[in-house]
């Protein structure tokens, strides 16, 4: 007899355990059956899927982008009718910051002024004149287009062509973005830098200090007082472009009152809890994300 789970969570990061436990606990409240898939489980689960001893209605994939060994499981599950959040082909497209930059500006979103450079392996030489004539002041930000999880490969204070060349060599097969460094508006020491989470139609925003990486809850009163409604409107536009079910984005309000999307799409959101980690996400936001996911799964089951 086949054993069916309403939801599986594919995970490869030890700090996702709190999220896994939260999903498991709340799933019971929604009358759903859920489980985690860790790397040691892969071989056995693939065998059970092929033998039709096991099935998943939905998978929340938090592993295949960072651990390719999960890819065959995700593809197999899709072939067997499982809905994956989010499909690998959509995630790979949305995770490319060079692609998203062009998509965003074509849709009218404000982004940092950016120059996109080809992979070092394709074009190693860089004209110094390209850097000398940059239309924005130094320092500038240098980041790879796809290898940026947790700030990987990012230089926040680039000054010279040599800086750019050195950083490009870190991931020589990746495109690179050289971007204007955006400076947030500051009131009473509060930097107007936000991380906005989109999850199955629910949009939540929090203050996020780009220097300390510490979150602070954003209240409804603050949204009104500081006219922050565009955070939600922009996130809706970003979702329509990416077509992802779950992601976060970073948006800055600067001294000119512009809302600038600075880190386009984080397709695998860090869900460590603030109650357990100083730089974690406010617990309420994580709990709401989990509830929205489970509600979506339950409603989808009911309509199918």
Among 16, 38, 34, smallest CA distance to 25 is for 34
Rounded Cα distance between 19 and 1, Å, is 30
Provide the whole-model pTM: 0.95
- Given 180, 203, 224, the domain boundary residue is 180
Residue 229 domain flag: yes
Is residue 220 located within the same domain as residue 162? no
Is residue 174 located within the same domain as residue 234? no
* pLDDT score of 229: 98
* pLDDT score of 152: 77
Among 239, 191, 243, smallest CA distance to 216 is for 191
Question: What's the gap between Cα 175 and its chain centre?
Answer: 19
- The pair of structure tokens assigned to 255 is 């001294």
Q: How far is CA 93 from CA 76, 79, 81, 267, in A?
A: 20, 20, 22, 10
For tokens 């079910």, the residue is 245
Residue 99 domain flag: no
Whole domain around residue 16: which residue ranges? Answer: 3-85+291-303
Is residue 207 located within the same domain as residue 255? yes
Looking at residue 110, the DSSP 8-state letter turns out to be -
Is residue 247 located within the same domain as residue 298? no
- Given 180, 197, 231, the domain boundary residue is 180
Is residue 257 located within the same domain as residue 236? yes
* pLDDT score of 185: 98
Say if CB 110 and CB 261 are below 8 A apart. yes
Is residue 14 located within the same domain as residue 79? yes
Burial class (CB in 10 A: 0-12, 13-18, 19+), 96: middle
Residue 90 domain flag: no
Is residue 176 located within the same domain as residue 233? no
Rounded Cα distance between 128 and 138, Å, is 15
Say if CB 157 and CB 139 are below 8 A apart. yes
- Tell me how many domains the chain contains: 3
Q: How far is CA 106 from CA 125, 129, 176, in A?
A: 29, 27, 19
* pLDDT score of 129: 64
Say if CB 251 and CB 110 are below 8 A apart. no
Residues 6+ apart with CB under 8 A from 218: 194, 205, 206, 207, 228
Per-residue pLDDT of the chain (304 residues; tens, 9 = 90+): 899 999 999 999 999 999 999 999 999 999 999 999 999 999 999 999 999 999 999 999 999 999 999 999 999 999 999 999 999 999 999 999 999 999 999 999 999 999 999 999 999 988 766 666 677 788 999 999 997 566 678 999 999 888 999 999 999 999 999 999 999 999 999 999 999 999 999 999 999 999 999 999 999 999 999 999 999 999 999 999 999 999 999 999 999 999 999 999 999 999 999 999 999 999 999 999 999 999 999 999 877 6
For tokens 């892969």, the residue is 42
Is residue 210 located within the same domain as residue 147? no
Which CATH number is 80's domain given? 3.40.50
Omega before 139 within 30 of 0, i.e. cis: yes
Is residue 189 located within the same domain as residue 217? yes
């Amino acid at each position: 007899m086949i054993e069916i789970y309403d939801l599986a969570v594919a995970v490869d990061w030890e700090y996702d355990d709190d999220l896994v436990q939260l999903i498991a606990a709340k799933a019971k409240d929604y009358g759903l059956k859920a489980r985690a898939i860790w790397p040691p489980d892969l071989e056995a689960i693939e065998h059970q899927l092929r033998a039709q001893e096991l099935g998943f209605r939905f998978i929340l994939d938090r592993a295949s982008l960072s651990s390719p060994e999960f890819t065959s499981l995700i593809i197999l599950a899709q072939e067997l009718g499982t809905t994956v959040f989010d499909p690998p082909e959509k995630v790979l497209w949305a995770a490319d910051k060079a692609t998203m930059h062009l998509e965003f500006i074509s849709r009218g979103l404000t982004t940092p002024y950016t120059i996109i450079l080809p992979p070092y392996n394709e074009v190693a030489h860089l004209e110094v004149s390209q850097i000398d004539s940059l239309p924005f002041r130094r320092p500038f930000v240098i980041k790879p287009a796809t290898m940026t999880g947790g700030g990987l490969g990012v230089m926040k204070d680039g000054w010279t062509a040599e800086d750019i060349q050195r950083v490009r060599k870190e991931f020589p097969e990746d495109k690179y973005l050289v971007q204007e460094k955006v400076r947030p508006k500051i009131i009473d020491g509060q930097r107007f830098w936000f991380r906005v989470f989109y999850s199955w139609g629910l949009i939540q925003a929090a203050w996020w200090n780009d220097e300390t990486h510490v979150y602070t809850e954003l209240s409804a009163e603050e949204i009104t007082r500081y006219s922050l409604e565009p955070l939600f409107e922009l996130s809706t536009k970003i979702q329509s472009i990416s077509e992802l079910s779950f992601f976060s984005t970073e948006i800055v309000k600067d001294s000119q009152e512009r809302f600038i999307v600075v880190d386009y799409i984080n397709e695998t959101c860090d869900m460590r809890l603030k109650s357990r980690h100083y730089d974690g996400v406010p617990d309420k936001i994580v709990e709401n994300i989990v509830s929205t996911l489970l509600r979506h799964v339950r409603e989808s089951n009911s309509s199918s």
